[in-house]
């Protein structure tokens, strides 16, 4: 039996639940893609049977950072608002306002977010969305699964060699929102391990920022940890202190995450709000982009804060390496030595 016939049989058997949408309920145009803001990412995967939404965010939470990672499905739609559902949501608690120039996610704090989520996040549509990743199915047959408590298996499936579009979160979850385009477009969750993905086809990589533009940010910066009314440099037992280095020549940022490190190209630099504030676009190997908000919190002491959805989601406050001597090193206690 050929692939086309297998798809026809699988898709004809697709069970559309009470929350699924008819084609007539779809908004004009396909809005599938990844939309980014300073601290968050909104991914939309739109099919004829349903529309999936994946939300990632980082937000201030006292002296640390709170995060969101929400796997959602559109329960109902009007021309201007989508009501969202998901395993961690009470009915009607989260919705997406749809306007020509922006998406606005709003509602009460969902279970997929930490305490203190501000209740609203806005994503501009002024620029084209980043396309999802292109993935080849690597298993003989992979069934779509629902965005519900048990991730119920659907009757629709894809087969080895098929190409699907998927949003691959930096956290690499077991199930990812994806869609297959045949006679109809079928959306649902697919097993990440059954997909071989490459970055979405895109234009040539964006040019790096000029070296002179990065001079104010240049050099090594070391993480500060809040303790009492001040800051210390925390030294963990089995990891490095978090740090990063901005290299103007080559427009790169080398990032020490503690137990691992990574690097990225600085492909965009724009002024932020306030003196010494910037918005950086970092592009890692494979084309994954991330916006980082940079703010100067104490110019005299050389302290800055960085916020983003991934690399700087858990780590915000840094001091210039040349000025770190003003802060006490606080080593983690009760570390086991290699001779114990």
For residue 303, what pLDDT is reported? 96
> If pLDDT is split at 50, 70 and 90, which confidence band does 113 have?
confident
Cα–Cα distance for residue pair 293/304, rounded to 1 Å = 10
CA angle 237, 238, 242 (to 5 degrees): 90
Q: Determine the Cα–Cα distance for residues 47 and 27; give it in Å rounded to an integer.
A: 11
- In angstroms, the CA 136 to CA 139 distance is 9
Average pLDDT over residues 55-70: 81
**DSSP letter for each residue of 68-94:** EEEEEEEEEE-SSEEEEE-TT--TTSE
Whether 204 shows a pLDDT value over 70: the answer reads: no
Look at residue 42 in the predicted model and tell me its pLDDT: 94
More confident position, 27 or 327 = 327
Determine the Cα–Cα distance for residues 314 and 210; give it in Å rounded to an integer.
28
Q: What is the pLDDT of residues 137-185, one digit of tens each?
A: 999 999 999 998 899 999 999 999 999 999 998 888 899 999 999 999 9
Between CA 260 and CA 192 the distance in angstroms is 23
Task: Give the mean pLDDT of 253-271.
Answer: 89
84-88, 221-225, 228-232: least confidently modelled range:
84-88
What is the Cα–Cα distance from 252 to 1, expressed in whole angstroms?
51
12-27 pLDDT, tens per residue? 333 333 333 333 333 4
Residue 184 or 310, more confident: 184
Judge whether residue 200 has pLDDT over 70: no
- Kindly report, residue by residue over 271-308, the tens digit of the pLDDT: 988 888 999 998 876 666 788 999 999 999 999 999 98
Q: Is the pLDDT of residue 194 over 90?
A: yes
Residue 117: pLDDT band (50, 70, 90) is: confident
Mean pLDDT of 309-336: 87
pLDDT at 21: 34
d(CA 147, CA 137): 20
Q: What is the pTM of this model?
A: 0.56
pLDDT on residue 301 = 95
Which of 93-97, 256-260, 313-317 has maximum average pLDDT? 93-97
Residue closest to 174 by CA, chosen among 145, 201, 141, 135: 145
Q: What is the pLDDT of residue 63?
A: 67
Residue 128 structure tokens: 């084209």
pLDDT at 78: 92
């Amino acid at each position: 039996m050929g692939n086309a016939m297998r798809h026809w049989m699988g898709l004809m058997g697709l069970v559309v639940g009470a929350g699924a949408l008819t084609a007539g309920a779809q908004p004009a145009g396909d809005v599938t893609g990844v939309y980014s803001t300073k601290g968050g990412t909104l991914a939309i995967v739109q099919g004829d049977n349903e529309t999936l939404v994946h939300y990632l965010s980082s937000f201030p939470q006292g002296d640390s950072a709170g995060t969101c990672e929400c796997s959602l499905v559109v329960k109902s739609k009007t021309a201007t608002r989508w009501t969202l559902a998901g395993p961690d949501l009470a009915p009607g608690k989260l919705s997406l306002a749809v306007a020509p120039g922006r998406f606005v996610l709003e509602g009460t704090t969902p279970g997929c977010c930490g305490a203190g989520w501000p209740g609203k996040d806005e994503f501009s549509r002024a620029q084209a969305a980043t396309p999802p990743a292109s993935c080849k199915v690597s298993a003989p047959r992979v069934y779509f699964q629902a965005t519900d408590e048990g991730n119920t298996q659907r009757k629709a499936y894809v087969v080895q060699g098929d190409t699907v579009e998927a949003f691959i979160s930096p956290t690499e979850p077991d199930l990812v929102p994806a869609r297959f385009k045949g006679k109809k477009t079928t959306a649902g969750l697919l097993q990440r391990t059954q997909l071989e993905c490459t970055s979405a086809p895109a234009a040539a990589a964006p040019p790096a920022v000029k070296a002179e533009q990065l001079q104010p940010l240049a050099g090594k910066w070391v993480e500060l940890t809040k303790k009492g009314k001040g800051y210390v440099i925390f030294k963990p037992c089995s990891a490095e202190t978090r740090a990063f280095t901005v290299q103007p020549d080559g427009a790169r940022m080398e990032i020490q995450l503690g137990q691992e490190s990574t690097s990225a190209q600085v492909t965009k630099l724009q002024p932020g709000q306030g003196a010494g504030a910037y918005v950086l676009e970092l592009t890692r190997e494979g084309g994954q982009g991330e916006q980082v908000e940079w703010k100067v919190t104490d110019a005299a002491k050389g302290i800055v804060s960085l916020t983003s959805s991934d690399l700087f989601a858990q780590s915000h406050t840094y001091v210039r390496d040349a000025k770190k001597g003003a802060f006490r090193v606080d080593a983690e206690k009760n570390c086991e030595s290699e001779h114990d």
